[in-house]
Amino acid sequence: MIHPKVCAVCGQVCDRNQDGEWLHALELVGKSDHVCVPVDYGEVPTVWRCDFCHRIVPLEAMWTVPATTFRSMVTGQFMVGGWACDSECAQLARSLDWDGLVDRYMASPETNIPDQPLFRMATRTLYQELAAHMTALPRPWQAGDEKTTEMPGGSR
């Protein structure tokens, strides 16, 4: 099992880009104030964010969207296992309301993505890719959901 990396500076869970570099999820959308300094999960307190709207969520309020690992045609990245989410995004995903999730992502103060048709289409396509790899409907977070998975070529 490969455990996630966490930034030593801010405690956020790190993602890998297609070049294998560790980044903050928010770096992928151009919003981070420092370079990611990856350390093993558990070495520093972890700050959890919703993988949809990027809002900070306390672990006890977190949900997960169970899914298999896939390589996104939108981002070129591996999307590793289940996605973490807050309760509002979980309810939208439970009802398969991908347009509602796109609306929530575009309106989030945590992202700086311009609300333009191209970005909406790319985000909706990414969520449809996730939908094709979901193994169950979203459920409340459980111990062991810390984004641990086996993965070829890297992990987030």
Shared domain for 40 and 76, answered yes or no, is no
Write down the pLDDT at residue 116.
Answer: 87
Shared domain for 36 and 72, answered yes or no, is no
Count how many domains the chain has: 2
Shared domain for 72 and 107, answered yes or no, is yes
d(CA 40, CA 65) in angstroms, rounded, equals: 23
Residues 36-67 have pLDDT tens digits of: 899 988 899 888 889 899 888 888 889 999 99
Instruction: Give the residue-averaged pLDDT of 83-109.
Output: 94
Contact (CB, 8 A) for 65 and 133: no
* Mean pLDDT, the chain, integer: 82
Asked if residue 54 belongs to a domain, the reply is: no
Shared domain for 85 and 135, answered yes or no, is yes
Shared domain for 13 and 80, answered yes or no, is no
Asked if residue 94 belongs to a domain, the reply is: yes
d(CA 121, CA 127) in angstroms, rounded, equals: 10
| Full domain range(s) for residue 121 | 62-141
Nearest to 118 by CA among 131, 135, 106, 136: 106
